[in-house]
Each structure stands twice: as C-alpha cells, then as structure tokens.
Amino acid sequence: MNLKRGSKNDIIEDGKIGWVLAGVNYQTGAAIQNSAALHGIIALFTIVPAITYALSAVVSRKYTIFSGTNIIGT
C-alpha cells in the first residue's frame, strides 16, 4: 500500500479533517478562534476518543480469549 503525500488516502483524510473543523466553526487564519471552535476542538481530542474507547471496550467484552487451557473473560 503506497501512502505517499498526495495519494488518494491523503486527500480523503484531509477532507474529513476539513469537514470536522468546519463543523466546529473553525476559522482558518484567524488570530483568535471563537469559543465554539475551541470547545469543539477540545471535545474532538477528549470526549470523542473517550466514547470510542468505551464502545470498543463494550464490544470486546463479547469475545473470549483463550490462553493455553485457561479461558479468560468468562
């Protein structure tokens, strides 16, 4: 898989970042961002990952891990 700068993956990821920043009212080039943008950026780096980690923990509880003859997670 070739992930050089300017590849299709970079373009898609840059677009996603732009949509998210636009969603929190980020103003490109502004010396000072408004409070909605700052709160949105903070949420993107704290609350969103916490929710994602919690969901992955809930989903992973469904699976049993085998360790030799012992079964972990039952």
pLDDT by residue for the chain (74 residues), tens only, comes to 445 555 666 666 667 778 888 888 888 888 999 999 999 889 888 998 999 999 999 988 887 776 666 666 55
Model pLDDT, residue 44: 86
Whether residue 32 is contained in a domain is answered as: yes
Whether residue 13 is contained in a domain is answered as: yes
> Is 73 in contact with 58 (CB distance < 8 Å)?
no
CA dihedral 56, 59, 60, 61 (to 10 degrees): 130
> Is 64 in contact with 74 (CB distance < 8 Å)?
yes
Which token pair is 50?
A: 């916490």
Domain count along the chain: 1
Range of the domain at 20: 8-72
Looking at residue 72, its amino acid is I
d(CA 28, CA 37): 11
Whether residue 1 is contained in a domain is answered as: no
